[in-house]
């Protein structure tokens, strides 16, 4: 499996503070069946002022640490970009981490505030799409606007955004409402990929397998595989068959 949303890099956001915690998260991911992970620290200028340039060295150091410890987790650098005017400035300056490119579009993980989908969000994503940047919207099932009205996310998928749902939402880890919304998005075939959004070993662990199994039980194993392997591999430019071994 491939995890496209996790917070393993130490000391850069609300993920692990120290290297040993970060290593334990990587080991737990491997034990869960994850073979590749895009590390997606928050790019939130008002709170976590990370940029592509500032994250490169931290990422390379962590990558080297896993190699030295023989932890078989292939790493990629991404970023969870917060909706804001300041973030748009970083995007225009080509200073946010993108996953890769699919059909001529760079893929970027985009986060709305948990409390709402702010005014101007649709115009924001339309601007990105006009720049050949396709937003992969992070955990919409945990956004309060979507939790109140599931169809409030449809204008974004209609515009061309993809949705990334948290695996734990499907199993109830984030409460009944988030689970209900995630299941509705699944049944409506609006989910593009599952990811862990892992931050800690205890409250938010790197557990992608349980979400995959939930999708397989409801929609079948072929769709589950697409959500945790085939589509993520395409986004990262990997060969899914190699990672499936």
Count the Cβ atoms, other than its own, within 10 Å of residue 56.
12
Q: Where are the alpha helices (DSSP H) in 32-153?
A: 52-68, 85-92, 121-130, 144-148
CB 182 within 8 A of CB 145: no
Confidence of residue 240 (pLDDT cuts 50, 70, 90): low
Residues pairing with 147 in the sheet = none
Output the domain CATH number for residue 169: 3.20.20.140
Domain range spanning residue 138? Answer: 2-244
Please compute the mean of the pLDDT values over residues 11-28 and round it to a whole number. Answer: 98
Provide the mean pLDDT of the chain. Answer: 96
Tell me the torsion sign for CA atoms 5, 173, 24, 33.
Answer: negative
Task: Tell me how many domains the chain contains.
Answer: 1
pTM of the full predicted structure? 0.96
pLDDT tens profile 31-48 = 999 999 999 999 999 899
d(CA 205, CA 210): 11
Residues in CB range of 100: below 8 A, 6 or more apart: 106, 107, 235, 236, 237
Supply the pLDDT for residue 243: 56
């Amino acid at each position: 499996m491939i995890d496209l949303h996790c917070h393993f890099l130490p000391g850069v956001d609300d993920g692990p503070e120290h290297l040993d915690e970060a290593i334990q998260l990587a080991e737990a991911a491997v034990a869960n069946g994850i073979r590749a992970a895009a590390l997606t620290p928050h790019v939130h200028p008002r709170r976590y002022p990370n940029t592509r340039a500032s994250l490169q060295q931290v990422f390379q150091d962590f990558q080297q640490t896993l190699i030295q410890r023989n932890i078989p987790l292939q790493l990629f650098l991404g970023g969870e970009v917060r909706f804001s005017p300041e973030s748009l400035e970083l995007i225009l300056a080509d200073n946010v981490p993108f996953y890769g490119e699919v059909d001529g579009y760079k893929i970027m993980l985009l986060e709305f505030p948990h409390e709402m989908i702010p005014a101007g969000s649709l115009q924001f994503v339309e601007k990105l799409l006009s720049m050949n940047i396709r937003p992969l919207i992070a955990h919409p099932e945990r956004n309060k606007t979507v939790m109140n009205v599931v169809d409030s996310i449809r204008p974004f998928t209609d515009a061309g955004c993809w949705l990334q749902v948290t695996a734990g939402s499907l199993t109830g880890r984030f409460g009944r409402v988030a689970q209900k919304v995630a299941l509705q998005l699944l049944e409506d075939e609006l989910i593009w990929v599952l990811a862990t959004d892992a931050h800690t070993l205890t409250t938010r662990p790197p557990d992608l397998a349980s979400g995959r199994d939930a999708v397989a039980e409801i929609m079948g194993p072929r769709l589950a595989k697409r959500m945790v392997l085939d589509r993520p591999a395409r986004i990262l430019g990997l060969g899914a068959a190699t990672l499936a071994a």
